[in-house]
């Protein structure tokens, strides 16, 4: 009769398989903290053909208030809204001009729970989610975040546009080696520049998560998360041919130097 005993080497070889399976099973039973939300009441929607919130949305025939809040919380959006019985919208801030509507206007029952109200036509039941992790600009060594800025059709940072599905500020910084300014936009886009942006925007305007890091913001439509760094301080990546034409001693505006406590003699240099 053949022996069924396993040698020590055989046991060690299968041990990682068992531990991986155990960890996988355990992870299925770990309870995540449920989102905590507060009702903000009934609000108008589509005011001036603009959604009250519209960073993300979906519709379902089993819609409930809870499922919408969970969907928005998973997307790290602090606002959730249900509308027309089966629609869910998420966002960071309410659109300009949005105001509360009479509670009686939100008269549609939720498709998935008739005891709950899910807005109506052009009406939303709005909720604020308290325990959503807040996205923010990247914190990189040797790099100063300048904030959120308005982009223009001619581009505030006009050089070396690149788009990537793993975009982060760090990736953009490395791509823009040789440029003192860089910025991320629309989740996956990176731009390089030689002068500081001028038209600031509210931080909430830069609300899109970076394609490569869900905890980091990468601008939005025509909104740019802008950064400044001393050329060559954080990356040894080869500089582009465009960088070689930079004007020597291009000074960072005094306003930004004082605001962000940067060295008053910070400047870019040309390649030689």
- Of 62, 95, 129, the residue at which a domain comes to its end is 129
Residue 124 sits in the same domain as residue 155: no
Q: Residue 263 has what pLDDT?
A: 46
CA-to-CA distance for 229 and 252, rounded, in angstroms? 10
Q: Are residues 167 and 246 in the same domain?
A: yes
| Residue 3 is assigned to a structural domain of this protein | no
Q: Which of 201, 181, 199, 200 is nearest to 191 (CA)?
A: 181
**221-236 average pLDDT score:** 79
Share of the chain above pLDDT 90, in %: 58
Report pLDDT digits (tens) over 49-59: 889 998 889 99
On whether residue 13 sits in a domain, the answer given is no
pTM of the predicted model, to two decimals?
0.55
**Amino acid 248: pLDDT:** 36
What are 119-140's pLDDT values in tens digits? Answer: 999 999 999 999 887 788 999 9
Question: Same domain, yes or no, for 161 and 223?
Answer: yes
- 70 and 121 belong to one structural domain: yes
Dihedral sign for Cα 37, 43, 46, 52, please: negative
Residue range of the domain that includes 44:
37-129
* 3-16 per-residue burial string, b: 16 or more CB within 10 A, e: under 16: eeeeeeeeeeeeee
Q: Same domain, yes or no, for 217 and 161?
A: yes
Q: Is residue 85 part of a domain?
A: yes
CB atoms within 10 A of CB 138: 21
Say if residue 160 is in the same domain as residue 254.
yes
Beta bridge partners of 225: 148, 184
Q: Do 117 and 148 reside in the same domain of the chain? A: no
Domain count, the chain: 2
Query: Do 159 and 254 belong to one domain?
Result: yes
Judgement on whether residues 81 and 162 belong to the same structural domain of the protein: no
Mean pLDDT of 210-217: 92
- 165 found inside a domain: yes
Let me know whether 107 and 185 are in one domain: no
* Domain end point (choices 78, 104, 129): 129
Q: Are residues 180 and 229 in the same domain?
A: yes
163 and 187 within one domain: yes
Final residue before a domain boundary, out of 100, 129, 158: 129
């Amino acid at each position: 009769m053949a022996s069924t005993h396993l040698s020590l080497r055989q046991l060690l070889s299968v041990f990682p398989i068992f531990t991986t399976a155990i960890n996988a099973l355990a992870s299925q039973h770990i309870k995540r903290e449920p989102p905590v939300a507060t009702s903000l009441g009934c609000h108008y929607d589509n005011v001036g053909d603009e959604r009250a919130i519209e960073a993300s949305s979906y519709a379902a025939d089993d819609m409930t208030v809870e499922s919408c809040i969970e969907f928005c919380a998973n997307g790290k959006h602090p606002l959730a809204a249900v509308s027309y019985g089966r629609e869910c919208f998420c966002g960071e801030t309410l659109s300009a001009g949005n105001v509360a509507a009479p509670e009686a206007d939100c008269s549609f029952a939720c498709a998935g729970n008739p005891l709950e109200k899910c807005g109506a036509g052009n009406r939303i039941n709005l909720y604020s989610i308290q325990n959503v992790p807040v996205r923010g600009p990247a914190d990189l060594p040797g790099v100063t975040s300048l904030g959120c800025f308005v982009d223009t059709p001619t581009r505030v940072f006009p050089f070396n546009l690149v788009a990537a599905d793993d975009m982060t500020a760090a990736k953009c910084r490395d791509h823009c080696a040789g440029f003192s300014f860089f910025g991320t936009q629309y989740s996956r886009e990176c731009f390089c520049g030689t002068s500081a942006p001028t038209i600031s925007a509210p931080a909430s305007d830069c609300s899109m998560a970076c394609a490569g890091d869900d905890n980091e913001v990468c601008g939005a439509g025509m909104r740019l998360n802008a950064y400044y760094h001393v050329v060559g301080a954080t990356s040894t990546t080869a500089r582009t041919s465009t960088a070689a034409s930079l004007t020597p001693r291009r000074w960072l505006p005094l306003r930004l130097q004082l605001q962000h406590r940067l060295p008053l003699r910070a400047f870019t240099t040309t390649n030689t």
